[in-house]
Amino acid sequence: MEDLKLIEKILINEGRIITTAQLSSYLTEYKDKNKKISTLIDKGLLVKLKRGTYFISKIGSLGYISISNYKIANIIGEQSFVSFEAALKYHGLFDQGLKKYRSISLKQYLTKTLEEITYEYVKVKEDQYFGFNLEKVDRGNTRIASKERALLDLLEYKRSINTVSLVLEKLIEHTTEIDFQLLIEYALNYSQTTIKILGLLLDIGQINSKELEKHVKRNSTSRMLNFSEKFSNKWRLYYNSILENQKV
């Protein structure tokens, strides 16, 4: 009960994200502050996000004090930005509930699960770390990918028939919200397979793909997925014909 009251006091004064230095200021009566912090972690009252930073669990009479999942993702991965479906959701292009927040990062961070939400990181090289903005979330700046970057990351790093179909759906339904010039500019930094897939999707969605076609290497073929069965000579790509059912 004593620990619960301690955590509630910290929660009221500091919020759900707290540093070791902040914690220590509430533990002055304990000789070994690190041991006390470990005890609070073992009891499930604190969760370690990274070295020197902790997350207060949903506990006590105060109930739930909200903090954005986008902000938590940024805190766990200091050199990262939220992308994929989570970024699309932030921009209003994805309306389903999320159990996973994926980010692009410069370092490899361990996957963490907090309160049934998983935070996952895809490490990229420095020249692939672009296409995000500082967005105002919880009265602070949070790094979130642009719509265009998020769509390309789905094709490059999490490719499946479902994610490809999702990208096609967004291209068709949000033509006025997506900056296609920027999308193509970003795409040129990705693999040939992703460039070709994007080109095919633009064609299916009856969106101008001429600029992207100039950058296709015609001396090689690519495969969308292992079981892709139909061939596009224009894009030198084996793809899944079921995608054609999503035509405008």
Tens digits of residue pLDDT in 11-55: 878 878 889 999 999 998 988 988 999 989 888 888 888 889 998
Same domain, 183 and 222: yes
Note whether 87 and 7 are same-domain residues: no
Identify any residues that bridge with 80 across adjacent strands, giving them in sequence order: 105
Kindly state whether residue 151 falls inside one of the protein's structural domains.
no
| Burial bucket for residue 22 (CB in 10 Å: 0-12, 13-18, 19+) | middle
Structural domains counted in the chain: 3
Same domain assignment for residues 133 and 172: no
Q: Which domain holds residue 233?
A: 158-246
Between 19-33, 60-74, 105-119, 177-191, the lowest mean confidence (pLDDT) is in 60-74
Q: Is 200 within a domain?
A: yes
Residues ≥6 apart with Cβ < 8 Å to 127: 189
In sequence order, the β-bridge partners of residue 139 are none
In a domain, 223, yes or no: yes
In a domain, 61, yes or no: no
The verdict on residue 43 lying in a domain is: yes
CA atoms of 186 and 169, how far apart (whole Å): 19
Residue 229 has pLDDT above 70, yes or no: yes
Residues 50, 78, single domain; the answer is no
The pLDDT tens digits of the residues spanning 115-134 come to 889 999 999 999 999 999 99
Whole-model pTM?
A: 0.83
- Is residue 151 within 8 Å of residue 163, measured between CB atoms? no
Q: How far apart are the first and last CA of the chain?
A: 61
